[in-house]
């Protein structure tokens, strides 16, 4: 997690691009506002932060992907695609210089102002669709359409960015076995199954993006990547009740079978109708029949409660030959002992989106046992779906990514690692009861913490360090008001996949934890052999948690292995006296 050269505001790249403030970040990089001192214009510079940690072979792959992103964007001539101006290398990492868009992403806009008005969402979708059609005509698939990659300029323009994992017709795919690229809950079902994507895959992602914009929540995000992928493949989303005339368009774009989705030109007409307040009648042909339980739909039993014409299915039939309703193409689906009805707008329950883990005692490592096998038909169906999903991941080269989240291939069952768990003044410390040799520091970023006497503040990019010896021993604080991950555990796993490419990395502990009654917390401890900054064996521990407003706080300490016992004791003191901004 450490590197030798710092980056930040004021850095001059390639003798012409002066970095300003950081304006965005993601799993692979950070975006800076910068000034082109040759052409005297504002540009955006994307820093590939993952390149700080990777081994040489992986760095070459990363560089190749960066070049591919530039080539993909360069092939598309459309005002709705962010222009790439330059690609350069600094600090052994690639950087992309792009058109600067003055305005937030769709994800940021929805987070700041709440769900987007359906007519405005339809307008945004129409612009994104136009950019995607231009990309597809140029032989480029975006493959990562999501709210964070849709930019809303303050002058009303809508642009799509980040072609970093685009598939270019005629190019060899730049990937590695074990990778599933793209944001999981915006991946089309055929991609999750390991199939080849096509233009319809980007349209599905557009549908999921518009759903998130109007409903304020991702339609398929669940409490883990595996359950999210299962939902993408096998579950219908809750009906978009806030979408107004845009609802049937979203439903049409989210058909599981790419052949049953509208083509781009037809989707464009539907979006135009929705934007202008008309109900897109053409979209109704794509609305699938929805399977609902008899007792939930019609407690009387005759269909009169909802005015629906129900089709009786055999209670004894296991799906081999029972009658069933069909979609607009006439394709039949597996039957079940329920009734079916056309899906105009049924209410549905939504699976909880955030994990819930009860508090447990400190300093405990408890393997989480797998739940007992279900004997019911529903349990067998869920098991079959998961097995089929994992089989598809193997075919698509993504089983490694899945195992990272389920704990497979590492330590068996996923552990739960609990750390300090307490709250109130006793935990936070009053400042006057600090241990001897410690002092409380009020940082300019608003937080305060206890540090040993003689430790001084340093910065490295967005990281804030306190160290007595220029980083050989350090406390590192990172604050992210807009984290990219649903919970800290998923963030830590993503970081681990990057760090372990050094080949000397060794996990000591990684698991979910409680901290001051914050259930959304994770503790990660690891060792590695450092070759650059302070050569030799090193040891680190990192506690990440989400505050009530969704801000992610990371409190990290590292030191040489030889002084780890002291560092570990210091870490407990740092956690005890830590105060986030406003506390």
Q: Which residues are catalytic?
A: 144
Q: Helices marked H in 432-529 — which ranges?
A: 488-499
Distance CA 69, CA 71 (A): 5
Structure tokens at 565: 């016992």
Largest CA distance in the chain: 79
10 Å CB burial of residue 378 (0-12, 13-18, 19+) is: exposed
| Three-state DSSP state, 214 | helix
Nearest alpha carbon to residue 414 among 401, 400, 403, 426: 403
Of 13, 87, 91, 85, the closest CA to residue 49 belongs to 91
Give the three-state DSSP class for 2: coil
Strands 289-292 and 364-367: unpaired
The total number of residues written for the chain in this structure: 583
| Measured CA distances, 531 to 2, 293, 400, 469 (Å) | 11, 61, 27, 18
Residue partners of 536: CB distance under 8 A and separation at least 6: 529, 530, 560, 561
Residue with tokens 């990660």: 524
Spatial separation of the C-alpha atoms in residues 368 and 357, rounded to whole Å: 11
| Nearest residue to 54 via CA among 75, 80, 28, 32 | 28
Q: What is the C-alpha separation between 246 and 210, in angstroms, rounded?
A: 9
Strand partners, 93: 90
* Cα within 13 Å of Cα(335), Cβ side: 17
Give Cα separations from 249 to 123, 238, 266 (angstroms): 13, 14, 10
* Bridge partners (DSSP) listed for residue 450: 440
| Residue 566 to residue 98: CA distance in whole angstroms | 46
CB within 8 Å of 253: residues ≥ 6 apart: 203, 204, 206, 207, 208, 210, 261, 262, 267
- What are the E-state strand segments in 320-447? 339-342, 364-367, 415-418, 438-442
b/e map of 244-269 (b: 16 or more CB within 10 Å)? Answer: bbbbbbbbbbbbbebebbbebebbbe
Give the closest residue to 212 by CA, choosing from 288, 319, 140, 106: 106
């Amino acid at each position: 997690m450490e590197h030798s050269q710092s980056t930040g505001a004021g850095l001059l790249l390639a003798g012409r691009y002066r970095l300003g403030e950081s304006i965005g970040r993601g799993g692979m990089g950070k975006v800076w506002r910068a000034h082109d001192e040759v052409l005297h214009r504002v540009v955006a510079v994307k820093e590939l932060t993952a390149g700080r940690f990777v081994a040489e072979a992986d760095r070459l792959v990363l560089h190749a992907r960066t070049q591919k992103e530039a080539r993909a964007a360069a092939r598309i001539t459309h005002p709705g695609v962010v222009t790439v101006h330059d690609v350069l290398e600094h600090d052994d990492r690639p950087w992309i210089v792009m058109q600067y868009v003055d305005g937030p992403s769709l994800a940021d806009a929805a987070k700041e102002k709440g769900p987007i008005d359906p007519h405005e969402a339809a307008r945004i979708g129409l612009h994104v669709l136009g950019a995607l059609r231009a990309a597809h005509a140029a032989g480029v698939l975006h493959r990562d359409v999501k709210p964070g990659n849709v930019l809303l300029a303050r002058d009303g323009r809508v642009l799509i960015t980040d072609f970093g994992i685009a598939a270019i017709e005629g190019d060899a795919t730049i990937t590695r076995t074990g990778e599933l690229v793209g944001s999981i809950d915006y991946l089309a079902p055929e991609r999750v199954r390991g199939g080849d994507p096509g233009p319809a895959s980007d349209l599905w992602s557009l549908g999921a993006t518009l759903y998130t914009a109007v409903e304020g929540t991702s339609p398929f995000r669940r409490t883990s990547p595996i359950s999210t992928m299962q939902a993408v493949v096998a579950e219908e989303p809750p009906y978009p009740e806030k979408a107004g005339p845009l609802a049937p368009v979203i439903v049409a774009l989210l058909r599981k079978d790419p052949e049953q989705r509208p083509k781009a030109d037809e989707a464009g007409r539907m979006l135009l109708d929705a934007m202008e307040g008309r109900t897109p009648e053409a979209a109704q042909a794509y609305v699938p029949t929805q399977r609902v339980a008899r007792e939930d739909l019609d407690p009387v039993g005759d269909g009169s409660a909802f005015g629906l014409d129900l089709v009786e299915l055999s209670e004894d039939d296991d799906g081999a030959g029972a009658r069933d309703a069909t979609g607009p193409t006439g394709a039949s689906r597996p039957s079940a002992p329920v009734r079916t009805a056309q899906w105009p707008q049924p209410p549905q329950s939504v699976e909880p989106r955030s994990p819930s883990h009860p508090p447990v005692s400190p300093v405990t490592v408890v393997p989480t046992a797998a739940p007992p096998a279900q004997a019911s038909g529903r349990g067998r169906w869920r098991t079959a779906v998961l097995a089929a999903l994992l089989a598809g991941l193997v075919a698509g080269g993504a089983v490694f990514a899945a195992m990272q989240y389920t704990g497979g291939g590492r330590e068996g069952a996923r552990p739960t690692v609990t750390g300090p768990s307490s709250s109130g003044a006793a935990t936070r410390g009053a400042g006057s009861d600090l241990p001897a040799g410690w002092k409380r520091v009020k940082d300019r970023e608003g937080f305060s913490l206890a540090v040993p006497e003689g430790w001084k503040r340093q910065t490295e990019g967005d990281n804030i360090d306190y160290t007595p010896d220029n980083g050989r021993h350090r406390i590192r604080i990172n604050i992210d008001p807009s984290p990219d991950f649903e919970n800290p555990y998923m963030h830590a796993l993503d970081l681990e996949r990057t760090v372990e490419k050094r080949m000397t990395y060794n996990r000591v502990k990684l698991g979910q934890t409680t901290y001051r009654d914050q259930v959304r917390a994770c503790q990660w401890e690891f060792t590695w052999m450092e070759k650059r900054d302070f050569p030799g064996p090193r040891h680190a521990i990192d506690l990440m948690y989400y505050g009530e407003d969704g801000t992610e706080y990371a409190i990290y300490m590292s030191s040489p292995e030889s002084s780890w016992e002291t560092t570990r004791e210091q870490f407990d003191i740092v956690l005890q006296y830590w105060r986030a901004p406003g506390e």
